[in-house]
Each structure stands twice: as C-alpha cells, then as structure tokens.
Amino acid sequence: MKRPASTPRSCSCSRAAAIIGAGPAGLTIAIILARYGYGVTIFDSKDKIGGVMRYGIPDFRLPDAVLDDIAYRHLELKGIQFRPNTTVGGSITIDDMFRDGYQAVFVGAGLWKPKSLHIKGESLGHVAFAINYLASPEAFRLGERVIVIGSGNSAMDCARMWKTRTACSRPRSDATGSWWYRLS
C-alpha cells in the first residue's frame, strides 16, 4: 500500500487520513483518528492551527497560548502532521490525496464567510464584517464612533477590540446627558 510522504515515520499506521482545515472540527477529528491508529495530516491555509478560534476570537477571550498547547500536546506528541499555508483545491486536490494513499479525507473548511444583513449601505467602504475585523483589526481604520450591530459574542468582541485598540479614556457625559468616549 502506498503511503503519503507526510505520514509520520514513527507511526506504524497502515491507514492514513487527510484533514482539510485546522479549526475545531478538523482538530477534533484528527485527534480521534490518531487514537484509532490513523496516520493523520492536517492541511490548512493559515500558518497556525485553530481556525476561527485563533483568528476570530480575540486573545483576551482565548489566548493563543492555549492553542499552542493543543498543537504540542495533542498534535506533535501524537505524531499528527501539520501542513500550514496549504490551500487544498489549488495545487493539491482531494483526488491527489486519495492518489497519494490517504484512505479518508475530512473537509472542515470553516466559517470564514461573513453573514450579510442585506441592508442599504452594507457594501459601503466604512462597513466591516465582524469575522474580517476580528481576524485582523490592525487592517481597519475605524473612527471615533462605531456602531456594532448584534448582541452575541462576536459583536461584543468587536466592541471590546475597538475600545482597546483606540485607547479610550473614561466615558464622559455632556450637557445633553449623552455618553461618549474621548480618544487619547
């Protein structure tokens, strides 16, 4: 039986599985398959594991050190290979994976498409989607006032990220009773 070159040499596995995506689903299935004796290789388009956990949840809620620990304790120590910066569908296809000896391929592509509200003005240049902002807040130049639509974790993360990135001082009240933040 032909085995993929990226299957761990120390693994005496007769079965190999390819996992596309290093997010929560991909990591979970990789660890489970490794326990069942599969030689596992994870392919991801990003440079580190975690998917939306790393790039969509701010460090103040889920520190990167937690994901780095998972990478070490659950991937490296179990012989699970990680191929970063590898987009499947370009130079590597699923057919290539089967041809190279993988018996199973799991696709956990992720949540990277923002959900549109389909409202007027949504496509204007000063509107940002939460997933894009949380993935790279330094790429956005937001003003002194920001409106966050939503009330879930992503909305609160965006509001808190904006607040910490703009170094706001204490909120103040003007004569009308409106609260506002003065930028330092």
- Do 69 and 147 belong together in one domain? no
Neighbours of 36 (CB within 10 A): 10
79 inside domain: yes
Please list, in sequence order, all residues whose beta carbon lies within 8 angstroms of the beta carbon of residue 26, skipping any fewer than 6 positions away.
Answer: 19, 20, 42, 44, 51, 106, 108
10 inside domain: no
Q: Is the Cβ–Cβ distance between 37 and 13 less than 8 Å?
A: yes
- Do 37 and 71 belong together in one domain? yes
Question: Which residue would you say has higher pLDDT here, 13 or 81?
Answer: 81
- Do 97 and 138 belong together in one domain? no
Q: pLDDT by residue (tens digit) across 21-53? A: 999 999 999 999 999 999 999 999 999 999 999
Residue 95 clears pLDDT 50, i.e. is over it: yes
Q: How many domains does the chain have?
A: 2
Domain that holds residue 143: 130-183
Q: Is the Cβ–Cβ distance between 14 and 55 less than 8 Å?
A: no
Supply the pTM of this predicted model.
0.76
- Do 89 and 163 belong together in one domain? no
Q: pLDDT by residue (tens digit) across 128-168? A: 899 899 998 889 888 888 889 888 899 999 999 998 887 64
- Do 92 and 164 belong together in one domain? no
**Residue 151: what pLDDT?**
82
100 inside domain: yes
**Residue 35: what pLDDT?**
94
